[in-house]
Structure 1
Amino acid sequence: MDVLTRRERTYTWDDPAALAGAGHGLSGREFLERIGRGELPAAPAAATTGIEPVEVGDGVVVFSLEPHEWHYNPLGSVHGGILATLADTALGCAVHTRLPPGTGYTSLDLTIKFTRPATLASGTLTCTGTVVAMGRRTATAEARIVDASGRLVAQALATCLLMPVG
């Protein structure tokens, strides 16, 4: 490998157990709002990927991702797994905004459809996750990822299992 083409990336993250503990006693929305305001650190996965919170509402969240070379697949576009992670983040967090203290969730399934490649030229990607249905044991959410020009990059659907935590 040519040393002149090599790049390096360094980043830090906070203790995920401490973050999870800080959420005890908070509703899902309160927890996410505190992360968005910087009162609590972002999850380690956000530090790894560069996913940033933009907005938290009732059953709706918005996250952004600035594409970088380190997001790329061998074909020169953002890897589908990175886009799926962005969508999964918005889907789960949209559900989380509706959860009372002591209730958590985990993704049961994730379906994503890619409509165009994302590259550095796409500009900031924005993903909006919205709750579609809330039940006692499961919740469903949908998400849309758009590029800086508002063009659809991907759309996703997920079901989350709701469960007691703590």
Structure 2
Amino acid sequence: MTQTQPTDDTHQFATASRTVTWQRPGQGDFTALATMTGLEQLRSIEQGLMPRPPVMDTIDVCGFTAEKGHVVVEMRAQEFHYNPLGGMHGGMIATLLDTAAGCSVHSTLAVGEGYTSLDLTTKFLRAVTVDSGLLRCEGTVLQRGRRTALAQAELRDEAGKLVAHATSSCMIFS
């Protein structure tokens, strides 16, 4: 059996493009971060006083608000988030959940404290497509100790339907 290779003109698919621009980290009064609480750090990013983390521009986060122990991250579902099956890639959903859960812990940090995620347990409940519209991810600290914190995040579509949920354990350090 002979197989022929397709010629270039047999696979002409419509294309789209996207340019991502971000603010380079470490700009502004970067040393001031060391004198701020976690909530003050997040609010300075929220207010444009410090650059946003590049990942927010990479995935096209359009909204971010922080209160102590609670964070909201918003992003519109878009084609460039898709997996091969035509829905939002699970990694994009997990990134939103991890951001909201982690930043909710970040918002509780005292001056001089840092944190890192230890785990993220994610439950995908329904498909997300461009028809899902604006996604709203809320992260909340469930328990904050001296060395660890437990947080959760819920991701809802524009209609308010729960599409994914996650819990995260974080280690807190000086």
Q: What is the count of residue pairs matched by the alignment?
A: 164
Q: 1:17 aligns with which of 9, 26, 48?
A: 26
Relative to structure 2, which stretch is displaced further, 94-103 or 11-20? 11-20
By how many angstroms is 1:136 displaced? 1.0
Runs ≥4 residues deviating over 3 A: 1-4, 17-22
How many angstroms apart in 2 are the aligned matches of 1:3 and 1:21?
A: 51
- Aligned partner of residue 89 in structure 1, secondary structure: helix
Q: CA deviation at 1:4?
A: 5.2
Q: Pick which of 1-10 and 78-87 moved more.
A: 1-10
Residues 1:135 and 2:148 are matched in the alignment: no
The 1:15–1:54 alpha-carbon spacing in structure 2 relative to 1, beyond 3 Å, is: closer
Could you say which residue in structure 1 is the equivalent of 2:133? 123
1:102 and 2:116 correspond = no
Distance 1:3 1:40 in 2: 43
What's the TM-score once normalised by structure 1's chain length? 0.92
**SS where residue 26 of structure 2 aligns?**
helix
Identity %, equivalent residues: 44
Relative to the length of structure 2, the TM-score reads: 0.88
3-state SS in 2 of match to 1:5: coil
- After TM superposition, the structure 1 stretch with the greater mean CA deviation from structure 2, 45-54 or 133-142, is 45-54
- Specify whether residues 22 and 120 from structure 1 end up closer, same or farther in structure 2 by C-alpha distance, changes over 3 A only: farther
Structure 2, gaps ≥5 residues long = 1-7
Considering only aligned residues, what root-mean-square deviation do their CA atoms show, in Å?
Answer: 1.6
User: Based on CA coordinates, which of the two structures has the bigger radius of gyration?
Assistant: 2
Is 2:60 the partner of 1:50?
Answer: yes
Q: Equivalents in 1 of 2:27, 2:88: separation in Å?
A: 31
Q: Which position in structure 2 is the counterpart of 1:113? A: 123
| In structure 2, C-alpha distance between the alignment counterparts of 1:21 and 1:32, rounded to whole Å | 15
Q: Does 1:145 align with 2:155?
A: yes
Alpha-carbon displacement from aligned partner over 1:34-78 (angstroms, at most 9, x marks no partner): 111222221011110112343211100000010111000001111
Return the offset for 1:143.
0.6
Contact 2:69 2:104 in 1 (8 A): yes
Q: Is the 8 A contact 2:25 2:51 kept in 1?
A: no
Question: 1:17 Cα deviation (Å)?
Answer: 3.5
**Residue in 2 that maps onto 1:6:** 15
In structure 1, stretches of 5+ residues that fail to align are none
Deviation of 1:14 after TM superposition, in Å, equals: 2.0
CA 1:35–1:3: 2 relative to 1, 3 Å: farther
1:7 Cα offset (Å): 1.5
